[in-house]
Amino acid sequence: MPSYQLTLTRKHTVAEDTLAFYFEKPHDFSFKAGQCARLILIDPPQTDGEGNGRYLSLASTPDELELMVATRIRNSAFKQVLSSLEPGAKVTLKGPYGDFTLPEQPPKSVVFITGGIGITPVRSMLLQAMAEHYEQPMTLFYANRRPEDAAFLDELTQACANSAHCTLVATMSKAQQSSLSWQGEQGYVDQAMLERYLDDLSAPVYYLDGPPELVAAMKKMLSQAGVSEDQVRTEEFAGY
């Protein structure tokens, strides 16, 4: 797999305890929306048992001029060193990897169900589909505890508001603990919520990603609702 040296150009907070990192994109690097890459720290001052690299989804679209990844900042050595990097820092990238991507032949409709930082590949796919004038209906169910935890929520809300083909359904399980006013859906994504926004649950192709427990719960729910297994694509994000 090809290896590239990237230069960090900027970073900023996209949700509470969540940072987005932007890198110069090598001229010969290409990927499909939804894919991931392995980001490797170069001679970090600390490391841990998992080594100096992690697989991270490419949250940027293939058409954007920079490569962008976003991650929750936790106490692991990798995350702490990554969060401390300043513009000009170098990292190594290997990839791209993965087939959690939209098909070449667009299905009749697409539904994304994700939670937390699982939004990163979905951001890439959704915005790329819009850039390519995707005319099939797309619905994004995006679950978080509070609005403060929802990375890219404002950006995606605006993007879907400007598209005749996209519906964003954001839901918060602990909205009462937020310092922000929340007027949207509350609770977890379930069959009743899907039925409020989808005319026929059996029609779309579903993309599920996020924590393993969320993916497993959504797969079970869709199966019980009569959705064929071959209409479901999954990607699990372990070790946030």
**Residue 142, CB-side half-sphere exposure with 13 Å CA sphere:** 29
DSSP 161: H
Q: Angle at Cα 101 formed by Cα 27 and Cα 221, nearest 5°?
A: 155
Considering the domain architecture, whether residues 151 and 182 belong to the same structural domain is answered as: yes
Weakest-pLDDT range from 55-64, 65-74, 99-108, 214-223: 99-108
175-232 residue pLDDT tens: 999 999 999 999 999 999 999 999 999 999 999 999 899 999 999 999 999 999 999 9
Instruction: Give the DSSP H or E segment for 96.
Output: strand 90-97
Considering the domain architecture, whether residues 131 and 223 belong to the same structural domain is answered as: yes
Q: Do the beta carbons of residue 171 and residue 178 sit within 8 Å?
A: no
Which of 72, 97, 122 delimits the end of a domain? 97
Residue 201 φ/ψ, nearest 5 degrees: -65, -25
Residue 237: band (very low, low, confident or very high) from pLDDT cuts 50, 70, 90: confident
User: Rounded to an integer, what distance in angstroms lies between the CA atom of residue 201 and that of residue 193?
Assistant: 11
Specify the pLDDT at position 104: 84
* CATH assignment of the domain containing 117: 3.40.50.80
* In the chain, % of residues over pLDDT 70: 99
Considering the domain architecture, whether residues 134 and 161 belong to the same structural domain is answered as: yes
Considering the domain architecture, whether residues 145 and 63 belong to the same structural domain is answered as: no
The pTM of this model reads: 0.95
Considering the domain architecture, whether residues 79 and 126 belong to the same structural domain is answered as: no
Region class of 194: left (phi > 0), else alpha (psi between -120 and 50), else beta: alpha
Considering the domain architecture, whether residues 153 and 211 belong to the same structural domain is answered as: yes
Which of 71, 97, 123 delimits the end of a domain? 97
Which of 41, 62, 97 delimits the end of a domain? 97
Residue 239 confidence (pLDDT) above 60: no
Residue 240 confidence (pLDDT) above 70: no
Considering the domain architecture, whether residues 225 and 130 belong to the same structural domain is answered as: yes
In a domain, 121, yes or no: yes
User: Rounded to an integer, what distance in angstroms lies between the CA atom of residue 33 and that of residue 37?
Assistant: 12
Using only C-alpha atoms, the chain has a radius of gyration, in whole angstroms, of: 18
Considering the domain architecture, whether residues 115 and 226 belong to the same structural domain is answered as: yes
The total of structural domains in the chain comes to 2
In a domain, 102, yes or no: no
Which residue range is the domain that position 230 belongs to? 110-236
Residue 238 confidence (pLDDT) above 80: no
